[in-house]
């Protein structure tokens, strides 16, 4: 299976070691370090690799913000809306308790600590999950998401009603002047 | 402030309006031109924000209040965890060919909130939308390194870019309407706005924009 590895370049060593172990587990990781050459249009090659990927492993953190290249990768994944495709395995690997971005929230995340990563075990867990796309979805988060969606629609309605009430009040005050 | 307070209402701030029942972490303040030329893009942003499960806010919400406009904008920003700043109109206008600096000024307020309030419940995140072909590197070069999303002044691109940025935020949840669904609903949203404008004798108010968005969004399928 052709798996795109998305990572912040400060996690270069983690991405490299994980990709090596994934290769030994029968997975074909697409890692920029192995596939980009000097003189090429890197963005174009990364975008093409994301479009061709059958699955994604996304290293998240440490720190809340992805770096520039990873932000580009996420934009590609999001703009193609691959994260909304339940048949496409997407596995977040969260490093050092980083807050997970919204688009990965409904996926089952593997949480690791940089100081003690067992790469073989992590690669085996990822390889196993890749074989069962349904297992990469977190049903609890999906249920919470449905509730949040209902709440969002309700909140928008409340906001709309509040604005209408204020509008009527202001119109009344203008009428008094 | 406790985390429970964070999930209910805006953080207490010196210029709180006390009027809007929108949760801080779901409020997205939209900072863009409000003139007729920009209206299709403004409406595209409003619809996308609402469809993605957030509450659109903007300076038009407090039109008619006595406070100066910049105070109303600062207040709206402080009540919103997120903000969208469109910097795509960068050329001079009118007979004197003067540039307008309101958008960058207001982006500056958001930047201040982003970095001064990092790690606090009032943490803020922003995005600047810029014109295509990296022109922004000439007129606002200090944004170098942020790779702000660019657009071609067309609603489909703006919808795609705003939907993508919102999806990256920690308060985004699934299921959600796809960008394609939002784009397909956009013409019916515009039709509703045209009707609302006609009903109000040519004036399109913020309450009627939000009401139209709410009606359109509540009928959208989500995945």
Asked if residue B150 belongs to a domain, the reply is yes
Shortest Cα distance from A24 to chain B (angstroms)? 32
Asked if residue B204 belongs to a domain, the reply is no
Among candidates B145, B179, B146, which has minimal Cα distance to B164?
B179
Measured between CB atoms, which of B50, B169, B205 is closest to A156? B50
Asked if residue B216 belongs to a domain, the reply is no
pLDDT at B118: 83
Taking only the tens place, the pLDDT of each residue in A117-131 is 999 999 999 999 998
Asked if residue B220 belongs to a domain, the reply is no
Asked if residue B9 belongs to a domain, the reply is yes
Average pLDDT over residues B167-174: 93
CA distance A56 to A50: 8
Measured between CB atoms, which of B21, B163, B173 is closest to A148? B173
Task: Say which residue the tokens 């994934």 belong to.
Answer: A22
Number of compact structural domains in chain B: 1
A143 in reach of chain B (CB within 8 A): no
Among candidates B153, B154, B128, B151, which has minimal Cα distance to B141?
B128
pLDDT at A177: 57
Shortest Cα distance from A25 to chain B (angstroms)? 30
Residue A64: pLDDT over 70: no
User: In terms of residue numbers, what domain contains B42?
Assistant: 3-172
- Answer for the pair A74, A60: CB distance below 8 angstroms, yes or no: no
A48 in reach of chain B (CB within 8 A): no
What rounded mean pLDDT belongs to chain B?
88
Q: What is the pTM of this model?
A: 0.89
Residue B6: pLDDT over 80: no
Torsions phi, psi of B38, nearest 5? -90, -10
**Sheet of strand B27-31, all strands in order from the earlier edge strand to the far edge:** B55-58, B27-31, B82-86, B125-131, B150-151
Give the lowest-confidence range in A106-115, B32-41, B46-55, B59-68: B59-68
pLDDT grade for B22, boundaries at 50, 70 and 90: confident
The complex's ipTM?
A: 0.88
pLDDT grade for B10, boundaries at 50, 70 and 90: very low
Asked if residue B190 belongs to a domain, the reply is no
Taking only the tens place, the pLDDT of each residue in A20-62 is 999 999 899 999 999 988 899 988 999 999 999 999 999 998 8
Query: How far separated are the first and last CA of chain A, in Å rounded?
Result: 72
Whole-number Cα distances in Å, A161 to A164, B77, B102, B182? 5, 21, 30, 23
What rounded mean pLDDT belongs to chain A?
91
| B19 CB-near residues (< 8 Å, 6+ apart) | A162, A166, B62
Residue B51 in tokens: 């469809």
Asked if residue B140 belongs to a domain, the reply is yes
Q: What residues of chain A, 122 to 141, have a C-beta less than 8 Å from chain B?
A: none
pLDDT at B79: 93
Residue A3: pLDDT over 70: yes
pLDDT at A175: 67
Asked if residue B191 belongs to a domain, the reply is no
Residues of chain B with a CB closer than 8 angstroms to some CB in chain A: 19-23, 26, 50, 53-55, 61, 64, 145, 147, 149, 160, 163-164, 166-176, 178-180, 205-207, 210-211, 213-214, 217-218, 222-223
CATH number for B125: 3.40.50.10140
Residue A169: pLDDT over 90: no
């Amino acid at each position: 299976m052709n798996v795109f590895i998305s990572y912040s370049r400060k996690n270069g060593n983690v991405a490299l070691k994980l990709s090596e172990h994934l290769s030994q587990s029968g997975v074909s990781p697409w890692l920029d370090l192995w596939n980009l050459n000097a003189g090429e249009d890197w963005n174009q090659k990364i975008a093409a690799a994301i479009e061709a990927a059958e699955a994604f492993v996304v290293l998240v953190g440490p720190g809340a913000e992805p770096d520039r290249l990873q932000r580009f990768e996420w934009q590609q994944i999001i703009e193609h809306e691959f994260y909304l495709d339940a048949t496409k395995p997407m596995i977040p690997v969260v490093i050092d308790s980083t807050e997970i971005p919204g688009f990965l929230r409904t996926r089952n995340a593997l949480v690791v600590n940089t100081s003690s990563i067992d790469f073989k075990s992590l690669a085996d867990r990822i390889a196993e999950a890749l074989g069962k796309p349904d297992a990469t979805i977190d049903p609890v988060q999906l249920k919470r998401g449905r509730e949040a969606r209902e709440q969002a629609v309700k909140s928008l309605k409340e906001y709309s009603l509040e604005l209408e009430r204020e509008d009527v009040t202001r119109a009344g005050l203008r009428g008094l002047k | 402030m406790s985390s429970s307070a964070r999930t209910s209402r805006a953080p207490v701030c010196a210029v709180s309006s006390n009027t809007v029942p929108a949760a801080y972490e779901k409020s997205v303040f939209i900072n863009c031109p409000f003139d007729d030329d920009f209206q299709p893009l403004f409406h595209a942003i409003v619809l996308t924000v609402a469809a993605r499960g957030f509450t659109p806010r903007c300076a038009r919400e407090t039109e008619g209040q006595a406070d100066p406009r910049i105070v109303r904008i600062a207040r709206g920003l402080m009540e919103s965890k997120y903000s969208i700043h469109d910097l795509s109109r960068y050329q001079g206008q009118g007979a004197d060919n003067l540039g307008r600096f309101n958008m960058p000024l207001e982006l500056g307020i958001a930047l201040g909130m982003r970095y001064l309030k990092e790690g606090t419940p009032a943490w803020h995140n922003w995005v600047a939308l810029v014109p295509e072909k990296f022109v922004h590197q000439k007129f606002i070069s200090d944004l170098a390194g942020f790779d702000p999303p660019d657009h071609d002044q067309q609603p489909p691109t703006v919808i795609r870019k705003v939907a993508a940025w919102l999806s990256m935020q920690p308060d985004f949840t699934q299921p959600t309407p796809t960008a394609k669904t939002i784009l397909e609903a956009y013409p019916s949203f515009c039709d509703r706005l045209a009707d609302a404008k006609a009903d109000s004798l040519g004036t399109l108010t913020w309450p009627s924009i939000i009401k139209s968005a709410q009606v359109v969004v509540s009928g959208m399928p989500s995945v």
